[in-house]
Amino acid sequence: AIGAYRRTDLRGQFLEQLGFKVPDIINDMPGGNEFFVTMPSEDLSPMDVDALVWLDIGGSVSRLKALPLRYTMRAYKEGREVYADPMLSAALSHSSPLSLEYALDQLVPLLEKALDGDPATVVPSSAAVGLAPVK
């Protein structure tokens, strides 16, 4: 299932401390739990945000590529998706002092590329696994 972390989750809090905002629609969605909500693959619009970070806990790339509506999202079309490989995803999930330092070192440059305002800029982590938009 595709899901999103709410602002009450450590991952959401981490991104909010970097200046991002978890959309209210995600925080207010029914179902899931206090920290996480699943999204129907038929409606990914709540996740079509300024920068979309895909966490991979193993085997997510093929599932992401198979999501037909992902290719209609502005985040995809404008190259604003950031793929977090299993190591970066684990660092964000563990949220320890050492892992957060690693997460900052890895994630911030990727977010800078995703949000530089130029859709032609390629986010290296997304391109490396074939998730970058085809130009």
pLDDT in tens, the chain (135 residues): 789 999 999 999 999 999 999 999 999 998 878 999 998 889 999 999 999 999 998 888 999 999 999 999 999 999 999 999 999 999 999 999 999 999 999 999 999 999 999 999 999 999 999 999 986
Tell me if the pTM is above 0.85: yes
Residue 33 confidence (pLDDT) = 87
Residue 57 confidence (pLDDT) = 85
DSSP string, 5-51: E-TTSHHHHHHHHTT----HHHHT-SSS-SSEEEE-TT--GGG--SS
Residue 23 confidence (pLDDT) = 95
Distance CA 102, CA 84 (A): 12
